């Protein structure tokens, strides 16, 4: 059981690192998009070059390695447990969705590295909340480990989503003023 606890500790460390990367990289996507669409030369080129460098370092040095190590230590924990219970299947489905979100970030990253803007900064602000929703969902299922409690968690998740969207709209209104 002691190897399980080491795997769990390392898994948590790399989950935190991965989420830090996902939270920050989408903010950089927003700034990069705004630099490419709203700034004039030479500021546009200077900002774009700096943001390319920052996102490349964040993506290659923190976000991708942390996602890989998260998976390695997660699989190690499942191996140590020897079986997968019902709540863990739900968690694994949510984690698969998170890797889909990660892949979507990679596509945005690749496009912005080539100065191709595919989304508005407002769309990216909404997209930025995706990692938050995955974090909330996964945390609730891991802590509660119950389908009924998960239903309550999903109801709470929708409430959080509504609050986030209202917050984004208020921030956008505040930012314009």
What pLDDT tens digit does each residue of the chain (177 aa) get?
579 999 999 999 999 999 999 999 999 999 999 999 999 999 999 999 999 999 999 999 999 999 999 999 999 999 988 888 888 888 999 999 999 999 999 999 999 999 999 999 989 998 998 998 899 888 888 888 865 666 676 677 778 778 888 888 888 788 877
| Cα dihedral sign, 6-9-15-17 | negative
- Whether residue 32 is annotated as binding a ligand: the answer is no
Consult the annotation and say whether 173 binds a ligand.
Answer: no
**Contact present, 130 and 138 (Cβ < 8 Å):** no
């Amino acid at each position: 059981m002691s190897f399980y606890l080491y795997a769990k500790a390392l898994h948590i460390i790399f989950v935190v690192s991965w989420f830090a990367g996902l939270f920050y990289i989408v903010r950089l996507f927003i700034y990069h998009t705004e630099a490419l669409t709203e700034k004039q030369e030479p500021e546009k080129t200077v900002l774009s070059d700096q943001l390319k460098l920052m996102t490349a370092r964040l993506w290659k040095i923190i976000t991708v390695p942390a996602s890989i190590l998260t998976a390695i230590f997660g699989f190690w924990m499942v191996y140590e447990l020897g079986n997968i219970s019902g709540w863990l299947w739900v968690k694994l489905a949510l984690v698969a969705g998170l890797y889909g979100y990660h892949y979507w970030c990679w596509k945005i990253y690749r496009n912005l590295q080539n100065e191709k803007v595919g989304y508005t900064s407002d769309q990216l602000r909404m997209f930025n909340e995706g990692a938050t929703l995955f974090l909330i969902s996964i945390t609730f299922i891991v802590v509660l480990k119950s389908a009924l409690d998960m239903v309550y968690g999903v109801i709470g998740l929708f409430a959080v989503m509504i609050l986030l969207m209202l917050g984004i709209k208020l921030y956008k209104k505040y930012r314009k003023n």
